[in-house]
C-alpha cells in the first residue's frame, strides 16, 4: 500500500482548531462519510495519516523518543550546548519544546479521528458479506489505533485527558484522567480491536492484522506487571501470565526474514513476513527519517541533516557482548563517503574522540541508502512492531513465569544472525532478566522501543542501567557527552505541553 486516497471529515478537523471555536461548526453527516466500505476505509486512512504526520512518526516522534530513551545524543552545530542536548537528551524535557508539543497534538489528532470512526461505524455481530467483514475491520483498526496512541500517552505523561467521543464545543476542555483509567481503556479497546480486525492471514496489505492488537495487549500487561501498585488490578504473576496468553497468540503467525539488514533496505524491508505493524509512507506522505538520520553530503541532494548520534557506551556494550554480531553493521555506521565533497567522513570508533562531530557513531537503520536522493524524504516504511520483538517479549515473559520456554525464543532471534546466546542467559532468572533487557537494545535500537523498555521496570532500573551507566562511562568526556539528569520527576514523565495548559481550561499543570 503506497498510494492512498485520504478523506478528512469536517468533524475531525474541528479538533485542530478546537480551542478557538465559539459555536458549533457545520458537520457532514456521518452516514454519508462512513456509509459504505470504500468511504469508511478512506476515513480510516485519515486516522493513519495522523500517525504519518511530521510531528508524529515521520520525524519529531523519533527526535523525542530517541532523546528520552537516554541512549542518544543530538548532533547540532552547538554540540552539547544545543537546546535539545541541554533539555530533552539530558532527560530534562521542557513543556514548550516542539517535539513534546507536536507528539501530544498528533496523538490526540489520531485519537479524535479514531473516535469519529468508532462513533460512526456499527459492529456487525455475525458478518455474512465481505463488506460487513470489511466494516468490522475498519472499526477494529480505529480501536487499535486509539489504544496504541493512548498507550504512548500514558507511558510518557501518566495522567492525561481521556477523550472517547467526537470533538465538539461542549467537550473541548477536558481534565486529566488517572493513568489507571487510561490503562483500563487501552485494554478494553485492544480487546475489541482483536475481535474485529482481519487476522494476519486475511489482512489488507499495509494494515495490521488482529495479532498486532494481541502484541499491544502483551506490551500493556508487561508494563503493568512491574508498574506502581496503584495502577494494578492483578498480581505481578497474573500480569505476566496475561502477557504470555496474548503474546503466544502471535507466535508462529510471522517469520523472521533471513537477512537482518534487509529490514532497512531501500526496497526490501517494507511489508515483510516479519513486520506486524508498520507506518506506510507514500508519494503523498513521505518519511522524514532520511533528513533526521542521514548527515549532509551522504546523498547527492545534500538535503539531509543527520541530527542523532548513538551514545558511545551503548555501542561499546553491544560490541563487547557480541563482537561478531552482524547486527552491529546494520545498526551503527562510523564511516561514509560524502558524495558532495568527495571525501570520506569517519567517526568513533574508527577515529579518536577529538571533537563533538567525530565522538559518536551514527544510527544506521534509517540512514538513507540511496546516495542519489535529491530531496529529504523517501517512501521507506517505519516498522513499529516486528516478530523479533515479539520473540524477545516471550523470552522475557517466560523467564518471569519460569515456564522453561525462555531460551527457545532467544535462540530463534540469535540463530538468524549466527550467534550463541550470551553466557548470562544460563546463570539463573536474575541474570537472564539482565541479558534480555539488553537484548532488546541490540535487536531493536533506533526502533522507538527503548524509551519505553528502558523505563518499564521503574525509576531505579532506569537510573542504574541507563543514566548511571552513561554518566559514569569510562569514555565519558564533558566536551562531548551530555550529563543526564537523575531527577525522577523529569526522567520518567514528560511535562504536559504548554499549548495544552494554555488552551484547556481543565488542566493547569
Q: Do 60 and 174 have their domain in common?
A: yes
Cβ-based burial of 357 (10 A; exposed 0-12, middle 13-18, buried ≥19) = middle
Determine the length of the chain: 509
Q: Do 143 and 27 have their domain in common?
A: yes
Look at residues 330, 359, 378 and tell me which one is the last residue of a structural domain.
Answer: 378
Buried b (16+ CB within 10 A) or exposed e, 442-458: bbbbbbbbbbbbbbbbe
Q: Whole-angstrom distance between the N-terminal and C-terminal Cα of the chain? A: 41
Any domain includes 470: no
Contact 7, 42 (CB under 8 A): yes
pTM for this prediction: 0.94
* Grid cell for residue 362: 551514527
3-state DSSP assignment of residue 335: strand
> Any idea what DSSP says for residue 376?
S
3-state DSSP assignment of residue 468: helix
* Grid cell for residue 387: 516478530
* Grid cell for residue 272: 515483510
What are 158-197's pLDDT values in tens digits? 999 999 999 888 899 999 999 999 999 999 999 999 999 9
Q: Compute and round to an integer the Cα radius of gyration of the chain.
A: 22
CATH of the domain at 34: 1.25.40.390
Q: Do 169 and 315 have their domain in common?
A: no
Look at residues 378, 407, 435 and tell me which one is the last residue of a structural domain.
Answer: 378
Q: Do 136 and 15 have their domain in common?
A: yes
Q: Which residues pair with 107 in a beta bridge?
A: none
Q: Do 159 and 37 have their domain in common?
A: yes
Strands (E), 375-422: 382-386
CA contacts within 13 A on the Cβ side of 196: 26
What are 406-421's pLDDT values in tens digits? 999 999 999 999 999 9
Any domain includes 433: no
Any domain includes 134: yes
- pLDDT at position 312 is 98
Cα–Cα distance between 288 and 379 in angstroms, integer?
9
Any domain includes 284: no
Q: Do 34 and 173 have their domain in common?
A: yes
Any domain includes 305: yes
Look at residues 348, 378, 408 and tell me which one is the last residue of a structural domain.
Answer: 378
Q: Of 150, 114, 148, 118, nearest to 136 (Cα)?
A: 118
- pLDDT at position 284 is 82
Helix pair 98-120, 60-69: axis angle to 10 deg: 120
Q: Of 384, 197, 378, nearest to 274 (Cα)?
A: 384
Any domain includes 399: no
Q: Where are the alpha helices (DSSP H) in 197-256?
A: 210-225, 236-247
- pLDDT at position 509 is 86
Contact 81, 89 (CB under 8 A): no
Any domain includes 202: no
> Any idea what DSSP says for residue 112?
H
Cα–Cα distance between 357 and 76 in angstroms, integer?
9
Any domain includes 223: no
Which own/partner pairs from 452-457 qualify as long-range (CB within 8 Å, at least 24 positions apart)? 452/155, 452/219, 452/223, 454/69, 454/70, 454/71, 455/155, 455/491, 455/492, 456/222, 456/223, 456/226, 457/226
Domain residues for the domain of 361 are 289-378
Cα–Cα distance between 14 and 304 in angstroms, integer?
34
* Grid cell for residue 92: 530534562
Q: Do 42 and 165 have their domain in common?
A: yes
How many Cβ atoms sit within 10 Å of the Cβ of residue 343? 10
How many domains does the chain fold into? 2
Q: Do 313 and 176 have their domain in common?
A: no
Kindly give, in sequence order, each residue whose CB lies less than 8 Å from that of residue 92, ignoring residues fewer than 6 positions away.
Answer: 86, 485, 487, 490
How many Cβ atoms sit within 10 Å of the Cβ of residue 6? 15
Q: Do 177 and 66 have their domain in common?
A: yes
Residue segments in the chain with a per-residue pLDDT below the cut of 70: 1-32
> Any idea what DSSP says for residue 204?
P
Q: Of 210, 165, 172, nearest to 191 (Cα)?
A: 210
Q: What are phi and psi of 278, to 5 degrees?
A: -145, 155
Q: Where are the alpha helices (DSSP H) in 199-352?
A: 210-225, 236-247, 289-293, 312-321, 326-331
Contact 155, 178 (CB under 8 A): no
- pLDDT at position 4 is 40
Please tell me whether the peptide bond between 349 and the residue prior to it is cis, using omega within 30 degrees of 0.
yes
Q: Do 192 and 340 have their domain in common?
A: no
How many Cβ atoms sit within 10 Å of the Cβ of residue 489? 9
Q: Which residues pair with 386 in a beta bridge?
A: 275
Amino acid at each position: 500500500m503506497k498510494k492512498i486516497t485520504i478523506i478528512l471529515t469536517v468533524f475531525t478537523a474541528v479538533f485542530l482548531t478546537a480551542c478557538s471555536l465559539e459555536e458549533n461548526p457545520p458537520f457532514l453527516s456521518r452516514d454519508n462519510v462512513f456509509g459504505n466500505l470504500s468511504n469508511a476505509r478512506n476515513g480510516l486512512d485519515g486516522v493513519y495519516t495522523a500517525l504519518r504526520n511530521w510531528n508524529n512518526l515521520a520525524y519529531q516522534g523519533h527526535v523525542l523518543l530517541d532523546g528520552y530513551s537516554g541512549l542518544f545524543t543530538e548532533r547540532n552545530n552547538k554540540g552539547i550546548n544545543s537546546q535539545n542536548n541541554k533539555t530533552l537528551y539530558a532527560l530534562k524535557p521542557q513543556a514548550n519544546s516542539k517535539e513534546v508539543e507536536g507528539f501530544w497534538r498528533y496523538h490526540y489528532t489520531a485519537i479524535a479521528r479514531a473516535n469519529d470512526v468508532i462513533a460512526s461505524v456499527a459492529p456487525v455481530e455475525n458478518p455474512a458479506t465481505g463488506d460487513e467483514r470489511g466494516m468490522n475491520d475498519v472499526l477494529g483498526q480505529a480501536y487499535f489505533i486509539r489504544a496504541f496512541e493512548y498507550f504512548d500517552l500514558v507511558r510518557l505523561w501518566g495522567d492525561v485527558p481521556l477523550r472517547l467521543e467526537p470533538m465538539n464545543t461542549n467537550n473541548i476542555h477536558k481534565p486529566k484522567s488517572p493513568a489507571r483509567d487510561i490503562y483500563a481503556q487501552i485494554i478494553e479497546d485492544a480487546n475489541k480491536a482483536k475481535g474485529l480486525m482481519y487476522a494476519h492471514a486475511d489482512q489488507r496489505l499495509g494494515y495490521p492484522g488482529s495479532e498486532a492488537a494481541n502484541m499491544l495487549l502483551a506490551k500493556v500487561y508487561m508494563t503493568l506487571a512491574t508498574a506502581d501498585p496503584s495502577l494494578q488490578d492483578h498480581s505481578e504473576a497474573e500480569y505476566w501470565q496475561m502477557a504470555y496468553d496474548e503474546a503466544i497468540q502471535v507466535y508462529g503467525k510471522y517469520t523472521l526474514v533471513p537477512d537482518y539488514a534487509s529490514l532497512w533496505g531501500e526496497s526490501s524491508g517494507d511489508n515483510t513476513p516479519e513486520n506486524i505493524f508498520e507506518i506506510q509512507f507514500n508519494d503523498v506522505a513521505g518519511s522524514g527519517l532520511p533528513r533526521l538520520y542521514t548527515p549532509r553530503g551522504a546523498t547527492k541532494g545534500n538535503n539531509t541533516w543527520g541530527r542523532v548520534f548513538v551514545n558511545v557506551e551503548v555501542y561499546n556494550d553491544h560490541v563487547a557482548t557480541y563482537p561478531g554480531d552482524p547486527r552491529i553493521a546494520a545498526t551503527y555506521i562510523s564511516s561514509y563517503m560524502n558524495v558532495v565533497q568527495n571525501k570520506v567522513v569517519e567517526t568513533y570508533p574508527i577515529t579518536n574522540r577529538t571533537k563533538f562531530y567525530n565522538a559518536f557513531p551514527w544510527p544506521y537503520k534509517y540512514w538513507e541508502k540511496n546516495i542519489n536522493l535529491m530531496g529529504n524524504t523517501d517512501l521507506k516504511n517505519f516498522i513499529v512492531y516486528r516478530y523479533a520483538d515479539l520473540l524477545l517479549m516471550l523470552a522475557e515473559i517466560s523467564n518471569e513465569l519460569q515456564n522453561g520456554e525462555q531460551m527457545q525464543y532467544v535462540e530463534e532471534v540469535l540463530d538468524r544472525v549466527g550467534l550463541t546466546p550470551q553466557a548470562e542467559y544460563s546463570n539463573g532468572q536474575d541474570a537472564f532478566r539482565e541479558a534480555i533487557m539488553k537484548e532488546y537494545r541490540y535487536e531493536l535500537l533506533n526502533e522507538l522501543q527503548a524509551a519505553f523498555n528502558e523505563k518499564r521496570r521503574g525509576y531505579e532500573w532506569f537510573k542504574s542501567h541507563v543514566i548511571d551507566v552513561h554518566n559514569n562511562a569510562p569514555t565519558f568526556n564533558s566536551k562531548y557527552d551530555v550529563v543526564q539528569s537523575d531527577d525522577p520527576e523529569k526522567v520518567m514523565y514528560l511535562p504536559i505541553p504548554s499549548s495544552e495548559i494554555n488552551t484547556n481550561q481543565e488542566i493547569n499543570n
